[in-house]
C-alpha cells in the first residue's frame, strides 16, 4: 500500500518490531525512528514494563512475546536485540513468519546457530543484515578503499585494540551477562567484535590464529575480560587483536592498518593518521626512515570529524547505525542483498570463536580461506 500526497505516490515506511527493550533495543528504536523510511510499530520484551515504556515513546504497541508480534500485519521487519545466544532462533522465527530481520551483533554465539540462520534466509523471502555499523564510518570506508585499491601498497600488518572498562555492576545487571550460554564469551564477542570485524574487512579472513584469554578484574564470570591474539592472513599479512573490559577507566577502540606504501590509524571513529606514498614515488626512492606524524594527512582527507567517537561508554545514536538501517530498508525495497550480509557476520564470528578455541586449547587454530570484499 502506498500513500499519496499532492498527486505524488510515496512509499510507506518499513514497520519494525523491536525485540528486547533494554539499552541496545532503545538505541535501535531511536535509529529507526530517526529515518523517514522506517518506524517502530511494536515493542517486545518479556518484562511488560520495559515493553510499555518503549512503546509509549514511539506510539507503538507493547507485547511480551515474539510469537504475538509476528502474527501482526503492521510488522514488516524485526530488530533482534535479545541476548546473544537467542539471536539466531529469534531471527529464524521472524523469517518463518515472512518478516525481514536486523540482528544486533553478534549474529549468534555458535557457528551452528549462525549456519541455521543462513539456511533459513536462503529458504525464505526475507532479507537479513547483522549490525556492523562501523563499516559505514567515513574513516573506515576511506581506509578500506585505500587497502583495496593498493594505495597502501602490500598489506603487511594490522592491530585491533579495544581497551574498555565494564564494571562488576555491568556484568551483574543481567543473569545472562558473563555466561557462555547467554553471552557466548566476554570482551571479544561483545565489545571487541566491531573492531575485529573492521580488521577482517580490511585485511581478509585470517588463516590461522593463536591466542590467550583470562578473567582478571571481575568475579563470577564464565568468560574472559581480557584476551590477546596473533593471526596470519591469507595475503601474508600479520595481525594482533587485543580486547579487554578490564582497562579502567576505558579508552577508545583503535585500528591500525599498515602496508608497504602507507599506514592508517582509526581511533574511535576518527581517522587519526593517514599517509600513503605519492603515486610517482618508487619504493627505491622512499626515505630510509619514516616521516612519522609530520606525514599525517588525516585532517586533509576528512576535515570534519567533530563528534565522531566510539569509546568505552554505552551506545549512543550515530550516523553509522542510521546508514546501515537505511541500506537495509533500501535492500528490502529493491530486493537486493544488504551491504552487510549473514555471510559477513559468520566470517567475523568464526574468527572470534577460533580465538576462543586457541585460548582454551593452547594451540594455533586454522581457519577456512575466505575472500572479503
Pairing, β 155-163 against β 270-276: unpaired
Q: Can you name the residues that pair with 162 across neighbouring β-strands?
A: 243, 253
Do the bridges between strand 253-259 and strand 61-63 make them parallel or antiparallel, or are there none, so unpaired?
Answer: unpaired
Q: Give me the pLDDT at residue 368, please.
A: 73
Full-model pTM: 0.90
Q: With 70 as the cut, is the pLDDT of residue 372 above it?
A: no
Residue 315 burial by CB count (10 A; 0-12/13-18/19+): exposed, middle or buried? middle
Taking the mean position of all CA atoms in its chain, how far away is CA 79? 14
Phi then psi for 201, rounded to 5 degrees?
-65, -40
pLDDT at 371: 41
Across 208-231, average pLDDT = 97
Lowest mean pLDDT among 168-172, 210-214, 225-229: 168-172
Q: Considering Cα of 122, then 126, then 130, then 132, what sign does the dihedral take?
A: positive
Q: What is the pLDDT of residue 174?
A: 83
Per-residue pLDDT tens digits for 259-307: 999 999 999 999 999 999 987 666 555 666 665 556 888 899 998 886 5
pLDDT range class, residue 115, cuts 50, 70, 90 = very high
pLDDT tens sequence across 303-338: 888 655 554 454 444 589 999 999 999 999 999 999
SS3 203: helix
| pLDDT attached to residue 327 | 98
Beta strand segments in the chain, E: 3-5, 8-10, 14-19, 38-44, 61-63, 77-80, 100-103, 128-130, 155-163, 206-214, 226-233, 238-244, 253-259, 262-267, 270-276, 365-366
CA-CA-CA-CA torsion sign (248, 250, 251, 256)? positive
Q: What does the pLDDT look like over 84-93, one tens digit per residue?
A: 999 999 999 9
Q: Which residue has the higher pLDDT, 10 or 373?
A: 10
Q: Is the confidence at residue 79, as pLDDT, over 90?
A: yes
Residue linked to cell 521472524: 94
Which pLDDT value is given to residue 6? 55
DSSP string, 206-232: EEEEEEEEE--S-SS-SS-SEEEEEEE
pLDDT in tens, 171-211: 998 888 888 888 899 999 999 999 999 999 999 999 999 99
pLDDT at 317: 42
Among 2-11, 72-81, 323-332, 352-361, which is the least confidently predicted range? 2-11
Q: How many CA atoms lie within 13 A of 193 on its CB side?
A: 30
For the chain, what is the mean pLDDT? 91
- What pLDDT sits at residue 307? 56
- What's the pLDDT score for residue 284? 53
Q: Quick one: cell of 306?
A: 567533530
Amino acid at each position: 500500500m502506498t500513500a499519496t500526497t499532492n498527486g505524488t505516490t510515496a512509499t510507506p515506511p518499513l514497520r519494525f518490531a523491536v525485540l528486547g527493550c533494554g539499552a541496545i533495543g532503545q538505541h535501535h528504536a531511536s535509529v529507526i525512528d530517526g529515518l523517514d523510511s522506517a518506524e517502530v510499530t511494536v515493542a517486545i520484551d518479556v518484562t511488560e514494563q520495559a515493553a510499555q515504556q518503549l512503546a509509549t515513546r514511539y506510539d507503538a504497541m507493547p507485547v511480551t512475546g515474539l510469537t504475538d508480534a509476528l502474527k501482526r500485519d503492521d510488522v514488516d521487519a524485526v530488530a533482534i536485540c535479545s541476548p546473544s545466544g537467542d539471536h539466531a532462533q529469534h531471527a529464524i522465527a521472524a523469517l518463518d513468519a515472512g518478516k525481514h530481520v536486523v540482528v544486533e551483533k553478534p549474529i549468534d554465539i555458535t557457528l551452528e546457530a549462525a549456519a541455521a540462520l543462513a539456511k533459513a534466509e536462503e529458504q525464505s523471502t526475507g532479507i537479513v543484515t547483522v549490525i556492523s555499523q562501523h563499516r559505514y564510518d567515513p574513516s573506515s570506508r576511506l581506509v578500506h578503499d585505500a587497502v583495496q585499491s593498493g594505495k597502501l601498497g602490500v598489506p603487511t600488518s594490522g592491530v585491533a585494540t579495544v581497551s574498555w572498562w565494564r564494571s562488576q555492576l555491568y556484568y551483574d545487571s543481567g543473569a545472562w551477562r558473563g555466561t557462555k550460554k547467554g553471552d557466548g564469551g566476554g570482551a571479544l564477542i561483545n565489545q571487541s567484535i566491531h573492531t575485529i570485524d573492521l580488521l577482517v574487512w580490511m585485511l581478509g579472513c585470517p588463516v590461522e590464529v593463536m591466542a590467550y584469554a583470562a578473567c582478571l578484574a571481575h568475579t563470577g564470570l564464565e568468560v574472559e575480560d581480557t584476551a590477546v591474539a596473533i593471526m596470519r592472513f591469507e595475503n601474508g599479512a600479520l595481525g594482533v587483536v587485543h580486547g579487554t573490559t578490564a582497562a579502567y577507566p576505558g579508552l577508545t577502540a583503535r585500528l591500525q592498518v599498515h602496508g608497504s606504501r602507507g599506514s592508517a590509524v582509526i581511533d574511535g571513529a576518527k581517522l587519526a593518521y593517514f599517509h600513503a606514498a605519492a603515486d610517482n614515488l618508487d619504493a627505491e626512492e622512499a626515505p630510509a626512515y619514516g616521516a612519522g606524524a609530520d606525514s599525517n594527512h588525516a585532517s586533509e582527507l576528512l576535515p570534519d570529524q567533530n563528534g565522531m567517537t566510539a569509546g568505552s561508554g554505552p551506545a549512543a545514536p550515530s550516523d553509522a547505525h542510521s546508514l546501515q538501517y537505511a541500506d537495509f530498508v533500501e535492500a528490502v525495497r529493491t530486493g537486493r542483498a544488504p551491504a552487510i550480509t549473514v555471510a559477513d557476520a559468520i566470517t567475523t564470528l568464526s574468527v572470534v570463536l577460533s580465538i576462543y578455541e586457541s585460548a582454551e586449547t593452547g594451540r594455533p587454530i586454522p581457519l577456512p580461506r575466505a575472500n572479503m570484499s
